[in-house]
Amino acid sequence: MKDDGQRPTEARAPMPIVVEDVSFTYPSGTHALRGVSLRVSPGEAVAIVGENGAGKTTLVKHLNGLLKPGTGRVTIGDWDTREHTVAKMAARVGYVFQNPDDQIVERTVGDEVAFGPRRLGQPAAEQQANVAAALATVGLTEAAKTHPYDLTAPQRKLVTLASVLAMRTPIVIFDEPTMGQDARGVALIGDIVDRLKAEGRTVLTITHDIDFCAAHFGRAIVMADGQVLADGPAADVLTRADVLATTNVEPPQLVRLAQALRLKRAPLTVEEFVAEVVGSE
């Protein structure tokens, strides 16, 4: 039988992401990546931050094969992305686009969420269960028969998020997931990220929402001009105002407040902040 890369056992296998000295230039001549190297271990939650044009989206599009390295190498588990189609890579890497209108292809919300699982060859019963669970997770169960374009833009974003959740990929990438969402939507997406982490799945996000990054991601990568400027624990990277300033990114609100109060350390959560304040008294 032909190996289509979609066996359930593969989906459960550890799949590190390895980017080795990758450079990429668009046909226009724009040098979007310049010798980027990094490794993401299975189960890590990583936020990639930086101003527009830093190379963030170009980088993550290399992880599911939408783009192929000009030089260097990208591997997902034991797969070199240059050797597999985007359709095959989708069994390992789920990608939620920044603009949901670039992703939606079906006429009903339910069919849209089922599109990925169907393409991956999930059995009918499994597909149905995964679609139902994904719709419930994003609060769109009642909209299953609705045309996606009868929903608001933030709701369409949740549709595309559900479509990736239903695929049950070991790696999930979000491109600006909180953009356009109200406080309730941001909280919902944060809960989804935390749930994926609890399941041991690898989660990467591109985000300008530094407070969201601080609350839900243990590692932060700062990019500028197609290069990695900083990479490490979010608690360290997001306090480096000098590095963030070069990318027009401000530290999280709690970090700025802690620095203004001259606390010994800059916590990333409210609980840590309160503990630090109490401990300094």
What CATH number does the domain containing 54 carry?
A: 3.40.50.300
User: Based on the domain organization, do 86 and 200 belong to the same domain?
Assistant: yes
Is 125 inside any structural domain? yes
Residue 274 is predicted with a pLDDT of 77
Are residue 52 and residue 159 in the same domain, yes or no?
no
Token representation of residue 196: 């994926």
> Do 112 and 126 fall into the same domain?
yes
Q: Is the pLDDT reported for residue 72 higher than 80?
A: yes
Domain co-membership, 104 together with 242: no
15 in any annotated domain: no
User: What is the pLDDT averaged over residues 101-122?
Assistant: 95
What is the C-alpha to C-alpha distance for residues 246 and 223, in angstroms, rounded to an integer?
10
Q: Give the domain extent around 183.
A: 38-92+169-250
Average pLDDT over residues 231-244: 88
pLDDT at residue number 60: 97
Does any domain span residue 259? no
Are residues 77 and 176 located together in one domain of the fold? yes
* 110 and 82 fall within a common domain: no
- pLDDT surpasses 80 at 213: yes
In sequence order, what DSSP letters do the residues of 113-145 get, joined into one string?
Answer: HHHHHHHTT--HHHHHHHHHHHHHHTT-GGGTT
In a domain, 225, yes or no: yes
DSSP 107: S
Is residue 267 within 8 A of residue 273, CB to CB? The reply is yes
The residue from 163, 178, 209 where one domain ends is 163
Band (pLDDT 50/70/90 cuts) for residue 280 is low
- Do 64 and 109 lie in one domain? The reply is no
Q: Which pLDDT score is estimated for 67?
A: 97
Range in 30-39, 88-97, 207-216 with the lowest mean pLDDT = 207-216
How many structural domains is the chain composed of?
Answer: 2
Kind of pairing between the strands at 202-206 and 45-49: parallel
Q: Which of 163, 193, 216 is the last residue of a domain?
A: 163
Do 54 and 123 lie in a common domain? Answer: no
Residue holding tokens 């170009």?
58
Q: Which of 56, 133, 148 is nearest to 102 (CA)?
A: 148
Over pLDDT 70: what percentage of the chain?
93
pLDDT-based confidence at residue 2 (cuts at 50, 70, 90): very low
Query: 121, 138, 163: which is the final residue of a domain?
Result: 163
Does 211 lie in the same domain as 115? no
Report yes or no on 272 lying in a domain.
no
Q: Is residue 78 part of a domain?
A: yes
275 in any annotated domain? no
Residue 219 CA: distances (Å) to CA of 30, 49, 78, 85, 153: 28, 11, 23, 29, 29
- Which pLDDT does position 281 carry in this prediction? 62
| 102 three-state secondary structure | helix
Distances (CA, A) of 99 to 175, 177, 182, 231, 232: 8, 9, 16, 27, 28
Q: Which of 61-65, 246-250, 251-255, 269-273 has the lowest mean pLDDT?
A: 269-273
Residues 151 and 173 in one domain: no
Question: 149 with 173, same domain?
Answer: no
- In-domain check, residue 195: yes
Q: Are residues 54 and 187 in the same domain?
A: yes
Q: What is the mean pLDDT of residues 101-130?
A: 96
Please give the mean pLDDT across all residues of the chain.
90
